[in-house]
């Protein structure tokens, strides 16, 4: 596959699956980008928490791209995969894909890299011990 060819199927573990609802729209009636980012953040945080067996917090989001619009009723799937583990941090690639209508066809709508830090009960970073 060339670098310019968009992927035809999700990469990574399915971490969130939900339906875009009318309450998630912006004043124009389109799905609000912030809602979609929060789904990606939740999904990647689940991935990071399972990986580190620790409480985690989001420290950065990079390369966030909104590639296609999301509509009310779309089934939204977030997929996460590990990009890098540091001393206390984890970089996780997240893609959101939607299924629209009844044919089951998937369309990639966003991508981004979310970075989490493993923290203790006081909120201080501690080393990632992979579970």
Ligand X SMILES: CC(C)(COP(=O)(O)OP(=O)(O)OC[C@H]1O[C@@H](n2cnc3c(N)ncnc32)[C@H](O)[C@@H]1OP(=O)(O)O)[C@@H](O)C(=O)NCCC(=O)NCCS
Min CB(10)–ligand X separation in Å: 24
22-44: b (≥16 Cβ within 10 Å) or e: eebbeeeeebbeebbbebbbbbb
Q: How far apart are the first and last CA of the chain?
A: 33
- Piece of the chain touching ligand X by CB under 6 A; list 16-24, 47-55, 73-81, 118-126: 118-126
Please work out, in degrees rounded to the nearest 5, the angle formed at the alpha carbon of residue 93 by the alpha carbons of 121 and 20. 90
Min CB(13)–ligand X separation in Å: 21
Phi, psi of 84 (to 5 degrees): -160, 140
- Piece of the chain touching ligand X by CB under 6 A; list 30-38, 44-52, 71-79, 87-95: 87-95
Residue 64 within binding range of ligand X, rule CB under 6 A: no
- Piece of the chain touching ligand X by CB under 6 A; list 47-55, 57-65, 74-82, 98-106: 57-65
Min CB(106)–ligand X separation in Å: 29
List, in sequence order, every residue forming a beta bridge with 96; answer none if it has no partner: 78, 110
Instruction: Give me the residues that bind ligand X (CB under 6 A), please.
Output: 57-60, 86-89, 115, 117, 119, 123, 125
């Amino acid at each position: 596959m060339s670098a310019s060819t968009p992927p035809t199927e999700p990469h990574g573990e399915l971490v969130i699956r939900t339906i875009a609802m009318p309450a998630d729209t912006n004043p124009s009636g389109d799905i609000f980008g912030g809602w979609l980012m929060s789904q990606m953040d939740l999904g990647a945080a689940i991935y990071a928490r399972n990986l580190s067996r620790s409480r985690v917090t989001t420290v950065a989001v990079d390369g966030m791209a909104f590639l296609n619009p999301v509509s009310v009723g779309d089934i939204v799937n977030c997929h996460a995969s590990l990009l890098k583990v540091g001393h206390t941090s984890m970089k996780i690639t997240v893609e959101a894909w939607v299924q629209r209508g009844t044919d089951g066809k998937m369309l990639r709508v966003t991508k981004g890299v979310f970075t989490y830090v493993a923290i203790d009960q006081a909120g201080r970073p501690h080393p990632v011990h992979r579970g």
